[in-house]
Amino acid sequence: MVRGNAVEMDERGKPLPRRSNLWAVRLGYWHGRGYSARVIAEKLGEGTSEATVRGQIRKAGVLSDVPLRAVIPINVPHWWRDILSRHAEARGLSLDELICQVLESALILDDLYDAVTDGKYQGA
């Protein structure tokens, strides 16, 4: 445990760089969103390496047993989110699970875009 102004050392006796609480929050947030150590290191900047990210995740004890997934943020009106949330709850799913299942069924496993949209968005 490091107290006061003491410098934390790595296993080789080299001083570890000090990071802000905001840095740690961002690392945890992006890890929780499923980003890879490489992407997190790029987002954090400040000379942060993939090894540092992996080490901090391991040190915090928040390793994930879930395979990495891509995060695709989408902006939808609040009322869409409310309707989707009701559909998810009725099926015992999270909102993410519901959206993933719909995308997988409509576009990943079968190309049902035209059937689902019925020509509504042609030429867009």
Q: pLDDT for 76-94, tens place per residue?
A: 999 999 999 999 999 999 9
What residue has token string 């003491």? Answer: 6
What residue has token string 């190309």? Answer: 111
d(CA 8, CA 18): 8
Stretch among 5-14, 23-32, 54-63, 109-118 having the lowest mean pLDDT:
5-14
Outline where the chain has alpha helix (H): 21-32, 37-44, 50-60, 78-90, 95-103, 113-117
92 in any annotated domain: yes
Are 52 and 88 found together in one domain? no
| Single-letter amino acid code for the residue at 41 | A
Tokens of 29: 């947030």
Are 54 and 89 found together in one domain? no
Residue 98 CB neighbour total at 10 angstroms: 18
Number of domains in the chain: 2
Residue 30's alpha-carbon distances to 56, 83, 98, in angstroms, are: 13, 27, 22
d(CA 108, CA 94): 20
Domain that holds residue 90: 78-117
Q: For a pLDDT cut of 90, what percent of the chain falls above it? A: 28
Give the pLDDT score at 65.
Answer: 61
Q: What's the pLDDT tens digit per position in 84-120?
A: 999 999 999 999 899 999 999 999 888 888 888 888 8
Average pLDDT over residues 17-29: 84
Are 28 and 52 found together in one domain? yes
What residue has token string 């490489």? Answer: 38
